[in-house]
A and B are shown apart, each in its own frame.
Chain A
Amino acid sequence: MMKTKLQHAWVLALALAAGAVQAQSPNDPFEKVNRAVFGFNEVLDSAVLTPVAKGYQAVVPELMRTGVANFFGNFGDGWSAINNLLQGKGEAAATMTMRVAANTLFGVGGIFDVASDLGMERQSEDFGQTLGRWGMPAGPYLVWPLLGPSTARDTLGRPLDLAWSPSLAINDSGVNVALSVLNLVDTRASLLSASRVIDGIALDKYTFIRDAYIARRRNLVYDGNPPELPEDNEPAPASPAPPAAPK
């Protein structure tokens, strides 16, 4: 009896501390911590990354930026080829391998994307998707400092995705750091218009990005054709939280 009362008081205190009573999402048991990290990332993004990305976009000509994106894309394509293979997608693995070969040989080390002009379409796959394809559930939503939105499953896949970088081929740590920074800035620059859209349509940016991330990753695991989720017209009441639906 006493214990339940204490629990209630505890829950109430937490809710008050959060500023507003928010419907708990079954996908996001660590919302409080995640929100704090998200806030940190937002500050860092608006103070450093976005201005740098805007400067990069203003100073570097589009042709060169495309070359940079192609160079890193070509590296990523190799990793996609392996992940396609791990997922049993032989045809996609073959196409992606041919893309890397064509772009490395005829696209001057991947700076030009000649493979796309030849009709070899990019079919990206990362290790988080491979784990999903193998049947691993997404697990709780997690926000990491700098790296941003993730899930337990994607957190397992991410180190391998990150390890697959030009540093595998280049033996100079200075060059590798410079390339990593360039990759980061180039990626952020390519997302500038997308983040303007999200700022315009999100009512709560944190939950908007969370829900979109989870839906998007699920969609990617099923290659754009996920099975329908059960219709959920009755959102969770303030308390108690309903049991998590298996996803």
Chain B
Amino acid sequence: MLSLKRTLAGLVMSVAAVTAMAQTTPDALIKQVSTDVIDTIKADKAIQAGDLGKIIALVDAKVMPHVNFQRMTASSLGRHWRTATPEQQKKLQDEFKTLLVRTYAGALTQVKDQTVQLKPLRAAAEDTEVVVRTEVKGKGEPIQLDYRLEKADAAWKIYDVNVLGVWLVEQYRGQFSQDIGSIGIDGLITKLADRNKSASKS
């Protein structure tokens, strides 16, 4: 029984190795980016001390290239995205990005002894949209952290994130549609911009 398990595990690993050679798989990408970010934080005293500017730079350099932020914003706006002018779309995207990156950076200052573990990927080789499931392990109960990725050209890009069972896009769809209903798209842009301005002051 045990040897069968070992053979299977070996088989799975060699298959994984072959596909990794062919091209980066979505789970390999998540693993690489997570490990890279965590290792950088652990090695950087300024970041651990809470240097937000430095973490934002880190997120911009290591994470954002792998995010399709336009799709993330468009899905969060839902049907309202199509009614927005290109200029409004760009402003929404920029302000939303600033809001999320700042928050994400703030959360990263809490990283101490965490590691990221991947759950087995359930996807066919020809899939162009997959969910990569991970767990952040540290003290206490592991934190569920999942990603939705799409294959655009040859590269995988993240377009939604799930923290503890809450998908970001779905969460903001509620928030945005509520504000657009009462203050309109321009009102929402102003609200996001004000929020970002007051956050950068404090």
B187 to chain A, nearest CB (A): 11
Interface SS, B side: helix
Interface residues contributed by chain B, number (CB under 8 Å):
35
- B177 partner residues in chain A, CB cutoff 8 A: 23, 235
- CB <8 Å contact, B79 and A212: no
Q: Does chain B have a CB within 8 A of A106?
A: no
CB distance from B121 to the nearest CB of A (A): 14
Whether the pair B178, A204 counts as a contact (CB closer than 8 A) is yes
- A1 close to chain B: CB less than 8 A: no
Residues of A near B167 (CB, < 8 A) are 215
Q: A196 to B165, Cβ gap below 8 A? A: no
Determine the distance from Cα of A135 to Cα of B8 in the docked complex, in whole angstroms: 37
**Closest chain A residue, CB of each to CB of B107:** A197
Give how many A residues have a beta carbon under 8 Å from the other chain's beta carbons.
34
Task: Point out the residues of chain A lying under 8 angstroms from B110, CB to CB.
Answer: 193
Which of A33-41, A144-152, A163-171, A218-226 lies on the face that meets chain B? A218-226
Q: Does B182 contact A (CB under 8 A)?
A: yes
Q: Which residue of B lies closest to A208 (CB)?
A: B175
Is A124 interfacial (CB 8 A cutoff)?
Answer: yes
User: Which of A21, A193, A202, A226 is close to B181, meaning CB atoms less than 8 Å apart?
Assistant: A21
Query: How many A-B contacts if CB must be within 8 Å?
Result: 86
Closest chain B CB from A118 CB (angstroms): 15
Asked if A204 and B179 make an inter-chain contact with CB atoms under 8 angstroms apart, the answer reads: yes
B174: Cβ under 8 A from any A Cβ: yes
Asked whether any CB of chain B lies closer than 8 Å to the CB of A211, the reply is yes
CB–CB A122/B141 < 8 A:
yes
Q: Which of A197, A216, A220 is in CB contact (< 8 Å) with B103? A: A197
B152 to chain A, nearest CB (A): 20
Q: Are B181 and A197 in contact (CB under 8 A)?
A: no
| CB of B95, distance to nearest CB on chain A (Å) | 11
In chain A, positions 198-240 with a C-beta closer than 8 Å to chain B are 200-204, 207-208, 211-212, 215-216, 218-220, 224, 226, 232-235, 238
Q: Is B79's CB under 8 angstroms from A201's CB? A: no
Decide: B174 and A219 in contact? CB cutoff 8 A.
Answer: no
Q: Is the CB–CB distance between A235 and B165 below 8 Å? A: no
The closest CB in chain A to the CB of B167 belongs to: A215
Q: Is the C-beta of A7 less than 8 angstroms from some C-beta in chain B?
A: no
A219 partner residues in chain B, CB cutoff 8 A:
144, 164-166
- Smallest CB separation, A99 vs chain B (Å): 12
B159 CB to nearest A CB, Å: 14
How far apart are the CA atoms of A198 and B52 in the complex, in Å?
17
Set of chain B residues within 8 Å of A122, measured between Cβ atoms: 140-141
- B192 neighbours in A (Cβ, 8 Å): 203
Are B170 and A215 in contact (CB-based, < 8 A)?
yes
The answer to whether A207 and B144 have CB atoms under 8 Å apart is: no
Whether a CB of chain B sits under 8 angstroms from the CB of A187 is no
Q: Is A64 an interface residue (CB 8 A)?
A: no
Give the residues in chain B near A196, CB-CB below 8 Å: 106
Interface residue A91 (Cβ < 8 Å from any Cβ of B)? no
A-B contact pairs, 28 of them (CB 8 A): A20-B182, A21-B181, A21-B182, A22-B181, A23-B181, A66-B139, A122-B140, A124-B141, A193-B107, A196-B106, A197-B106, A200-B99, A201-B100, A202-B175, A203-B175, A203-B179, A204-B175, A204-B179, A207-B174, A208-B171, A208-B174, A211-B171, A211-B175, A215-B170, A216-B165, A233-B78, A234-B78, A238-B181
New contact pairs (13) apart from A22-B181, A216-B164, A235-B173, CB-CB < 8 Å: A21-B182, A22-B178, A23-B181, A25-B174, A193-B110, A197-B107, A200-B99, A203-B175, A207-B175, A207-B178, A215-B165, A224-B133, A224-B165
| Top 5 closest pairs, chain A to chain B, by CB | A219-B165, A235-B177, A203-B175, A20-B182, A216-B165
